[in-house]
Each structure stands twice: as structure tokens, then as C-alpha cells.
Amino acid sequence: MPPFVTVAAYAPPGAGMLAAGIAAEVFDARGPGLPAFDFALCTDRPGPVRTDTGLPLVAEHGLDRLAAADLVITLPWADFRTPPGPAVLDALAAARERGALLAGHCVGAFALAAAGLLDGRRATTHWRFAALLAERYPAVTVEPEALYIDEGQVITGAGAAAGFDLCLHLLRREYGAAAANTIARDLVLPSHRDGGQAQYLATPVPQDCQDERLAEVLDWARAHLHEPMPVAELARRALMSRRSFARRFAAATGTTPHAWVLGLRVSRAEELLETTELPVDEVARLVGFGSAAVLRAQFVRRRGVPPRSYRRSFTRLPRPGATA
């Protein structure tokens, strides 16, 4: 059985139009090699739903679909300071008891918290409302800087466009990197941003010639993962000192050059493991880890499983003896 097939996005009155669009873009996508999800927008009573933009959405399903879905996404809504009604909270609890995955996008985390589903867990939300979430629900450990936090059955994410990171992480976790990367490419998005990455940057990156050089270096790094990539070499290519490069890199990406390169290498290794029969040693060489032992250590630390186990779970190649 696939990890999850039916996806229900809960849209209360005042739901975020952007958030609804993000969920639909990821889980209603169609194309070769992509999972075939049964995506539905649901609300308390089927029909038109006013959004935060004033434009209506049509939700064809009610709370019965919410309680029965494999994945439930609680969308942000304008009146999130008022908890959802008992019927919604019961439907969320029923989904949890049945083993469904639950994801709270932005202030959609407040709905999960109101249902008691975040008690004893770490969670995040839009940084602007993290203190309110912590004050309202002291049993929740709120981490305001994270893009998303994966607690197994329950996942929460930051505001606005970070919903893409949340949804792509879920897709990557359950269906593998190739599916997530395919959708990310179609949407012209980064294939993966780590959940611990900062939600926002304290100062914007000035638009000048150094930005162009930084972008060129990032493109070069993506195309040369098999080569050694010390920070000093990246700084040299950007025509900056190592210290200036590290500072500017952090301002532009919210992370360090070393962490960014490691994440890129693991992501590329995932895709090669899923879509090729290359030996693990060769995968390690192609992504710049040098040996299967180093690749294995990074995989276990970052993905929780060794490369061969990952390949068995997510390979997109035909199984031996399988028929077309």
C-alpha cells in the first residue's frame, strides 16, 4: 500500500488562498512517475468558502472527508485565535486515532493544538504568532525559527510559502526524493530546504554584482558535486574573502555553505538511489562523499536509514519479475 493516497485540506471560513493553492499544487499534481493522490478541499459545510483575499473557494466535501483522509492538512485562516468548533476538533482527533498524518501549515497549527494533537510535541508556526501559540498551549514546545518540524505523525510548518517546504518534505519522506524533486522543478522551487533552516532573514541581501557572483557559485556547486568543495574554493569563485562569503551566504540562504552543500549532496544521492542501479560506492563518488561509508553516515544521520534501505523503500525501477 502507498504511504498515503487521500489528502484532505481543511479550509475554514477566512482560509488562506495561498495555502490552499500550495496544497493543491503539490498534492493534485499529475504527470509521469508522480503519485496519484485523491486531493480534496473540505470545510464544515460543503459549499463556497470565503478566503483571506475575499475571493471564494468551493469546498465540495465536509468533515467526513477530513476524518477519513490519509493525510490531513489544516490550512491557516484569518480567525485562528478562535478555536475551531467541536465537530472539527473531533474530526481531527478521529483522523489521528485512525493513524492519519496531520500537517499544520502556518497558523493551521493552532487547530492541531486546540485538538490536543501537539501536546508533548515540538511545533512551529508563522514566526509572528509563535509566542501566542506557546502562551495559549503551554504543553507544546514551540520552536519559532524552524521552517517545519517533523514529529512523525504530526508535522507543522511556518507561514506563507514555507507551506511548499512542508508539503515537499512530506512527499519526500513518504514517496522519495525523485517525486518531490519532479514537482519542485515544475514549480521552480528549491528541491529541499532543511526544516531547521531559519524562517526569515534578518536583513535582505542587497541587489548588486556580488549577488550575481553568489548565484553563479551556487549553480557551479550544483553541477560539480563530485568535486571537493571547501568554503575557501567557493569564496574564491565568488571573488570574496572566506569571511565575507560565509556572511553573505548565510544572509542569502539562512544556512552555512557547508550545511548547504551536504544537504545538496544527500538530496542528489537520494535521487540516484531511487532512479538508477548504480552501486552505492559510485553514488557516493558522484555526489562528492568519496566513499560508501561516508555516504552511509550522512544518510543515517540525516534520513535515519542507510542508503540500501532507502533504495529498497523508494526505488522507482521495476521490481524483478514485475510485469508492465
CATH of the domain at 182: 3.40.50.880
Asked if residue 168 and residue 100 are part of one domain, the reply reads yes
Domain count, the chain: 3
Asked if residue 226 and residue 182 are part of one domain, the reply reads no
Task: Tell whether the model's pLDDT for residue 322 goes beyond 60.
Answer: no
Task: Tell whether the model's pLDDT for residue 217 goes beyond 80.
Answer: yes
Give the pLDDT mean for 156-175. 92
Length, in residues, of the chain: 324
- Per residue in 5-37, pLDDT (tens digit) is 999 999 999 999 999 999 999 998 887 778 889
Asked if residue 107 and residue 66 are part of one domain, the reply reads yes
Give the list of residues 6+ apart from residue 162 with CB closer than 8 angstroms, or none.
105, 106, 147, 148, 199
Asked if residue 308 and residue 246 are part of one domain, the reply reads no
Q: Please name the residue that has the C-alpha cell 493516497.
A: 5
Sign of the four-CA dihedral 221, 225, 230, 231: positive
| Residue 270 counted as domain residue | yes
Q: What is the domain range of residue 238?
A: 209-254
Give the pLDDT mean for 145-155. 93
- Per residue in 107-120, pLDDT (tens digit) is 999 999 999 999 99
pLDDT, position 40: 96
pTM of the entire predicted model: 0.73
